[in-house]
Amino acid sequence: MTVDRDVAGELLAALADPTRREILEALAARGEASATTVAAGLPVSRQAVVKHLAVLDAAGLVEARRRGREVRYAVRPERLTAMARWMAAVATEWEARLGAIKQIAESPAPPPP
């Protein structure tokens, strides 16, 4: 119950796959595109792209809008921004801790002879 569906993990896992990142790049370059269109520019099948888009959508990285008989996908920056902030915060905290440890390790200063 503590894990709460692991939102961070979902996002990171979504981003971790190279094919998925290529899809995101393709979407960002085109502004918006359908799964078929994207698949045409990649070495994988349309179905694979569809699955990836589902994952990306679940992670909130992408937005789907029905446009007649096709479905247009567009990139969604908010989650990425949030993630970046989160990572920066964690990094800062780590640095703080490392600093603290270092101080403690140096507290018994060796007196010069």
Q: Does 55 bind DNA (CB under 7 A)?
A: yes
Closest contact distance (angstroms) between CB of 36 and DNA is 3
Q: Does 57 bind a second copy (CB under 8 A)?
A: no
Closest contact distance (angstroms) between CB of 111 and a second copy is 22
End-to-end Cα spacing for the chain: 59
CA distances from 22 to 27, 70, 108, 111 (A): 9, 21, 53, 58
Closest contact distance (angstroms) between CB of 18 and DNA is 8
Which listed residue (40, 54, 58, 87) binds a second copy by CB under 8 A? 87
Q: Does 12 bind a second copy (CB under 8 A)?
A: yes
| Per-residue mark of binding to DNA, 61-100 (x: CB under 7 A) | -------xxxx-----------------------------
What DSSP string runs through 73-92?
A: EEE-HHHHHHHHHHHHHHHH
Handedness of CA 101, 102, 105, 106 (dihedral sign): negative
Residues in the chain: 113
How far, in Å, CA of 94 to CA of 88, rounded? 10
Residues in the site for a second copy, rule: CB under 8 A?
3, 6, 8-9, 12-13, 15-18, 21, 28-29, 31-32, 74-77, 80-81, 83-85, 87-88, 90-95, 97-98, 100-101
